[in-house]
Each structure stands twice: as C-alpha cells, then as structure tokens.
Amino acid sequence: MVKLKTTNAKDSSMLVTMKDLGEFTEQVILPGVETIVDEKIGDLRGEMKAGFTDLRSEMQKGFDNVGKSIRVLAGEIIENNEAQREFNEKQLDINHKVEARLSRVENKLEIRR
C-alpha cells in the first residue's frame, strides 16, 4: 500500500491500493491515451490508404507486364519447339542420305574386290 498525501484538512493522508491505481488507469489514463493515439492515427490512415492504392496500382501494372512477358515467352517456346522439330527432321533426312551413299560406296568397294 502507498500513502498518498492530500490537501484535505479532514483527512491529511489517504491509502491508495493497487486496485485504486488500476481503476484510475482504466478510467482516466487509458481513455486519454486512446484519444491521443486515435487523433495521431486518424491522420495516418488517409496517407496509408493512399499509399496502398498507389502500391496496388503499381503491383497491377507489374503483374500485367509479367503476364505479357509470359505470353511472349510461351510463343517463343512454341517457335523454338517447331524449329527443333524441323531441325530433327532435316537431320534424319541427311542421315538417311548419308547412309544410302555409304551403302552405295560400300557396294562399289565390294564389287571391285
């Protein structure tokens, strides 16, 4: 317990308990602090909303750009796959021609022996 001196002539000292301090805090100090904080935060809320709006629009632009890039890359991948397929077909054709010529050369060499 804490003794609190007052200026009352009748009772020059009064006992203050932890319960009394808790009630005083809840009734006087906390509402005052909440009021001050609400005033300070109220100003920031508008700024925060504006900042988030700007951030959201920038993010949307970024996502749009990423989407465009993905579509372009998908088209390039398809083109590369087609070019690879054509290259493989040409390579097979060349291999067949080389094999045929080698076969003819081998046949000629066998005939000469």
**Residues pairing with 16 in the sheet:** 2
Domain range enclosing 39: 2-112
Among candidates 24, 23, 4, 26, which has minimal Cα distance to 14? Answer: 4
CB-based contact 39:31 (threshold 8 Å)? no
Q: What is the DSSP string of 67-106?
A: HHHHHHHHHHHHHHHHHHHHHHHHHHHHHHHHHHHHHHHH
Total domains in the fold of the chain: 1
pTM over 0.85: no
Summarised one tens digit per residue, pLDDT across range 6-55 is 555 455 467 888 988 999 999 999 998 998 888 888 878 888 888 888 88
pLDDT of residue 2: 55
Summarised one tens digit per residue, pLDDT across range 58-99 is 999 999 999 999 999 999 999 999 999 999 999 999 999 999
pLDDT of residue 94: 96
